[in-house]
């Protein structure tokens, strides 16, 4: 398939399979046949595929010997007791796994010392938040107060200065 060295071999095999199964329209089928006339390897691959398809269609289904069929039919009758069958063994195996998972997923109750430590940590955190809040409030009041006094005082002082000049 000299012309198809760059093409993926699977794509070529897919086109040949489409040809054999009649999935190619007439134009595509003719194009593939023209390509096969120019490429001996492609033509050989198509012929081999046709021969394989014909050989597969000629195969007949052979029945198993009667002795083998009888033995195969006896297999379910020779089964293990119900509690030893794989599905029951798996079910029995999941019970301890589920029990272990339930135990592991239960929330553990903290000890008294852990609770006391958590209370102390919360008290420290709230004290810190309170300090930050007071400082922030003082900073805001200071900034707003100075800005407000400037906003009110400057126009008044300018007005007084203008009246003195007059």
pLDDT digits (tens, 9 = 90+) for 57-114: 887 777 777 887 777 777 665 556 665 666 666 666 676 777 777 766 766 777 888 8
Q: What is the pTM of this model?
A: 0.36
Q: Which positions ≥6 away from 15 have C-beta within 8 Å?
A: 24, 32
pLDDT digits (tens, 9 = 90+) for 129-139: 888 888 888 88
């Amino acid at each position: 398939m000299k012309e198809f060295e760059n093409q993926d071999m699977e794509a070529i095999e897919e086109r040949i399979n489409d040809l054999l199964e009649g999935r190619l329209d007439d134009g595509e089928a003719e194009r593939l046949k023209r390509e096969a006339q120019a490429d001996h390897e492609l033509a050989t691959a198509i012929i081999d595929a046709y021969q394989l398809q014909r050989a597969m269609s000629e195969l007949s289904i052979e029945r198993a010997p009667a002795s083998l069929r009888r033995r195969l039919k006896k297999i379910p009758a020779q089964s293990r007791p119900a509690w030893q069958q794989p599905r029951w063994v798996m079910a029995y195996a999941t019970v301890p796994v589920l029990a272990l998972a339930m135990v592991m997923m239960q929330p553990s109750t903290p000890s008294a010392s852990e609770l006391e430590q958590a209370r102390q940590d919360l008290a420290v955190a709230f004290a810190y938040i309170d300090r930050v809040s007071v400082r922030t409030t003082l900073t805001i009041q200071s900034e707003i107060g100075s800005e407000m006094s400037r906003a009110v005082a400057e126009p008044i002082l300018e007005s007084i200065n203008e009246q003195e000049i007059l």
